[in-house]
Amino acid sequence: MSAGSGGTAASSDGAGRGRWTEPGAHPVAPGVHRVPLPLPDDALRAVNVYVLEQPDGVALIDSGWAMPASLELLERGLASLGHELGDVRQILVTHIHRDHYTQAVELRRLLGSRVYLGAGERPSLERLLALRNNVPVSSLQVLRRGGAAALAHRIERYLLATEWDASVWEPPDAWLTAGEHSAGDRTLRVIPTPGHTTGHVVFLDEAAGLLFAGDHVLPHITPSIGFDLADAGLPLGDFLDSLRLVATFPDAALLPAHGPVTASAHARVDELLAHHDRRLGQALAAVGARTIDAHEVARILTWTRRETPFADLDAFNQMLAVSETAAHLDLLVARGLLVEQADDDGVARYAAALADPDVAWSTRP
């Protein structure tokens, strides 16, 4: 969502920036295939589901959005590998977002496949199961705290008019914590990586040199930060810490949820850390000598690789922009570079904490 985040390594599975969404089962490594599945009306275009062949069937990493077109393409991709939907034994989900989790629930209902999800997603799932409409109350609270009450009202009115189907959500069969997990004859290391969501996990196959990264490390874009049902605390701080954690493990090919496979997860981690270092500097400069809220800062900044003005974003992406800006500002407060002042109406306003605006600083401790 945020401004341009630099280049990326060359694709290792032949699916470059413009071609990674082509349907099919694309080989990544021996016994591992990438199957891109469609998303409805989504700028991300597709989500990668990874098929891990096992002696007694297959395991999936992420599952796709529960809708007929997605299930059909998954079935066709499996058939091209000599498998059928009934061969899916387990589904390991990186995080709770609809495009990763909901088709896992459907496959379990159809086939009895076992579904696994990071334990940190439990609070978000409980809130989803308790919702009676399509309105993410916590996200609207972030907008109101950020000074974007009118935008929050606009989004709330739109969402109240859209249908909400809670039946697509169910608890997993098991909650994953840090450690090893067996997928047939393959051993995966489960690494909790909070940031994009509070319970996001990645799966590292050290023997094969593969990192199934979900939305934590993406090759062309930065994942949204600060847009979560759970009380995330300092989501950007968590995200940066999670990036550094991934870099402590041996480098591996990056198998992302959106975009092509690339040769080095570590290279992209370095780019993301540098990007957010720049972005924190831009947010600090936008505050300057003023006392200002997150909505006002978001309107000063530009967005996406195209440096799009805030006013040119649609309402949903404006919501993401304000949430992400608040995450950056809150981290600057935690680092002692800004101070936060809460208004009587609950809006958080930020001001510089340092007399010298040129004091050197960095996101990297």
pLDDT of res. 218 = 97
What's the number of CA atoms in the CB half-sphere (13 Å) around residue 76? 12
Q: What CATH superfamily classification does 26-133+164-273 receive? A: Ribonuclease Z/Hydroxyacylglutathione hydrolase-like (3.60.15.10)
* Angle of the 235-247 helix axis to the 265-287 helix axis, nearest 10: 150
**Predicted pLDDT at 358:** 53
Of 197, 240, 241, 226, nearest to 330 by C-alpha is 226
Tens digit of each residue's pLDDT (9 = 90 or more) over 269-293: 999 999 999 999 999 999 999 999 9
Average pLDDT, the chain: 89
The angle subtended at Cα 105 by Cα 102 and Cα 107, nearest 5°, is 110
- List CB contacts of 359: < 8 A, sequence separation 6 or more: none
Question: Strand 179-183 and strand 26-29: pairing?
Answer: unpaired
Predicted local distance difference test score (pLDDT) of residue 335:
94
Q: Which class for 22: exposed (0-12), middle (13-18), buried (19 or more C-beta within 10 A)?
A: exposed
Q: What is the pLDDT of residue 43?
A: 74
Q: What is the pLDDT of residues 197-230, one digit of tens each?
A: 999 999 999 999 999 999 999 999 999 987 777 6
The domain spans of the chain are 26-133+164-273
Cα gap 126→143, rounded to integer Å: 22
Q: Which amino acid is at 224?
A: S
- Which residues of the chain have a pLDDT value below 50? 1-16, 360, 363
Whether the full predicted model's pTM is greater than 0.95, yes or no, is no
C-alpha span between 190 and 199 (Å, rounded)? 12
Bin 186: left if φ > 0, else alpha if -120 < ψ < 50, else beta.
Answer: beta
Among 43, 46, 134, which Cα is nearest to 317's? 43
Neighbours of 72 (CB within 10 A): 13
